[in-house]
A and B are shown apart, each in its own frame.
Chain A
């Protein structure tokens, strides 16, 4: 009886944990997008007001933004500083493929970030600003719609986790 009770507790606990994990994952994409937006806004101000060169600006972003976005920009800045003939876009693509493992972004988000890399260090400040604005607008729009969806799904995943655990425990009793 005791073993059965412990087993049921373990099943319920695992199921609850799974539910909460999925609920947390739901908001992770929004968080990632927002920290990416922060990095882009810092880049815009570095370029527009301080006229910092791209390697130094990337390193500054790395210091000011946490998480994988900060690491990505630090990595990018280091690569730019020690580049040997590669284009900025090639370095950006290399950095992105390394960052993809830690992030929770969807493919469409990566496409926008990758396209943004094509405009990095290309032509003048106005074009750079426009490219950053385009990416920031995309992030704003996406994050707003995802937030509404995430709020709804978060509650659902949590209750699903708890109820499915209870159901499983009852069925296996």
Chain B
């Protein structure tokens, strides 16, 4: 697995957290929530493939 994806996820996490704070301060709670949701979806999109790989490997290891 490429380690850079971990750093990318960390960077997205930090930036989305700052963005949400900025939007909260400006009184735009709705947009703040949508931003955090969008960040979550982007990260999930990256991670889902690795999670699926993990599941198949667990199945192979334990002969399930």
**Is the A/B pair a real complex?**
yes
Residues of A within 8 A of B (CB): 152-153, 155-156, 159-160, 163-164, 166-167, 170-171, 173
Secondary structure class of chain A's binding surface, majority of residues: helix
Q: Decide if A156 touches B8 in the complex (CB within 8 Å).
A: no
Distance to closest chain A CB from B60 (angstroms): 31
Q: Decide if A167 touches B15 in the complex (CB within 8 Å).
A: yes
A171 to B4, CA, bound (A): 12
The contact size tier of chain B is 10 to 19
Q: Decide if A164 touches B19 in the complex (CB within 8 Å).
A: yes
Q: Decide if A167 touches B23 in the complex (CB within 8 Å).
A: no
A159 to B23, CA, bound (A): 10
Q: Mark B17-54, 1 if CB is under 8 A from A, else 0.
A: 01100110111100000000000001000000000000
Distance to closest chain B CB from A100 (angstroms): 29
A171 to B38, CA, bound (A): 12
Name A156's contact: one of B11, B12, B18, B22 (CB within 8 Å).
B22
Distance to closest chain B CB from A148 (angstroms): 12
- Name the CB-closest residue of B to A171: B42
- Name the CB-closest residue of B to A159: B22
Distance to closest chain A CB from B28 (angstroms): 8
Distance to closest chain A CB from B31 (angstroms): 10
Q: Decide if B26 touches A167 in the complex (CB within 8 Å).
A: no
Chain B residues within 8 Å of A159, by CB? 18, 22
Chain A residues within 8 Å of B8, by CB? 170-171, 173
A151 to B23, CA, bound (A): 14
A163 to B4, CA, bound (A): 20
- Ordered by A's residue number, 5 sampled pairs between the chains whose C-beta atoms are within 8 Å are A156-B22, A156-B23, A163-B18, A163-B22, A167-B12
Q: Decide if B22 touches A160 in the complex (CB within 8 Å).
A: yes
A155 to B23, CA, bound (A): 11
